[in-house]
Amino acid sequence: MRQWRIPPDLADDALLVVSELITNAVVHALPPASLCLSRQGGRAACAVRVEVTDAGPALPRHRGGSPRQPEESGRGSAIVAALSARSGTTTCRGGTTRWAEIQEPTPFASSGGMYSDVTEA
């Protein structure tokens, strides 16, 4: 991602999404699993698309954590959804591809600042 000049915050989010999608493929699907990363957009704004393909069937969109290990399981899909502008699943005869697009925050036109999830009271 350095060669693509991806901003550090976007790269961090993309790497976390990669980790979650790969982990889900290894733990819940059938081998083999493959990873495809692509850069989208231009100089002003860019996005990273992450695709992980495995040989398993599609799983439900979001499953709750395991009753035995709630602190260690069941959050991957929620993390991917929270960090991604768009995400989804594509199935074909050979398996399932889970994908996500992570985008840079876009500046507000009126304030000139970057998006923040901090709200002032």
Distances (CA, A) of 13 to 26, 28, 67, 79: 20, 22, 28, 10
Which pLDDT score is estimated for 84?
Answer: 96
User: Under a CB-based contact definition with an 8 Å cutoff, are residues 95 and 54 in contact?
Assistant: yes
Euclidean distance between CA atoms 78 and 18, whole angstroms: 13
Q: Looking at domain 8-60+73-103, what is its CATH homologous superfamily?
A: Histidine kinase-like ATPase, C-terminal domain (3.30.565.10)
Residues 6+ apart with CB under 8 A from 26: 33
Tens of pLDDT, residue by residue over 20-60, are: 999 999 998 889 999 999 998 877 678 999 999 999 887 54
Mean pLDDT of 4-26: 94
Euclidean distance between CA atoms 92 and 67, whole angstroms: 31
Residues 6+ apart with CB under 8 A from 56: 25, 28, 29, 30, 95, 96
Is residue 62's pLDDT more than 80?
Answer: no
The 10 Å Cβ neighbour count of residue 37 is 15
Tens of pLDDT, residue by residue over 63-105, are: 444 454 556 667 889 999 999 999 999 998 889 999 999 998 7
Residues written for the chain: 121
